[in-house]
A and B are shown apart, each in its own frame.
Chain A
């Protein structure tokens, strides 16, 4: 079965540092997403990305966040200056087409900001 791959599985960083979370979506998928889940809370939408640009973003996705698809396979989430409250599981997802198809999620990156 195809899968979305995320690296690293766990990242510890100091407050104020920049982090880049990496994802390899399923190869023929066109829509890419980042979600996060703070421990014990709901899974929250951050951003969706299609055709090399952001198509939707939530209020959480402020100027500290950015996404990029630097090549044909990777999809990255950058947090410029991490805060303690950015500690969460970050999930990448991809879909073949928007709207009607199921999303495949990666196993997540656990980000711990100290």
Chain B
């Protein structure tokens, strides 16, 4: 079972920041928090990942609490094309192959 919990759905106004929360109170110290999204049954798309520090890339920012029990994915200026299911996934940092365990994610609807 997934080690993360997310709200099933959220709405966000176009142009505003979308803040997607994720609880992962049971992840271990060597587990990264990864975010993926899936736009309308397309293949999942990598967004960002982090371990302890906050991370930012061209798509989003990831804020991880100091106790690592939760995190927030921020899409700074949501567009209609950001409407998708967003998955927060705990991934072991062990070397070798790894599998992603997808939960149900958060369905983000960006509203004009």
Contacts and interface: CB of A to CB of B under 8 A. Distances in A.
A99 interface: yes
Contacts of B99: 33, 45, 48, 56, 58
Contacts of B95: 98-99
B45 to A, nearest CB: 7
Given A42-B103, A42-B104, A99 B98 contact: yes
Interface residues of B, number: 24
A25 interface: no
Contacts of A100: 32, 93
Chain A contact patch, size range: 20 to 34
B101 A106 contact: no
Given A31-B97, A99-B95, A108 B43 contact: yes
Interface string B21-49: 00000000000101000100111111001
Contacts of B104: 42
Interface of A: 4, 31, 33, 35, 37, 42-45, 48-50, 55-56, 58, 89, 91, 93, 98-100, 102-108
Given A43-B38, A45-B99, 14 more contacts: A4-B43, A33-B97, A42-B104, A44-B102, A45-B101, A48-B99, A91-B43, A99-B95, A99-B98, A102-B49, A103-B46, A103-B100, A108-B42, A108-B43
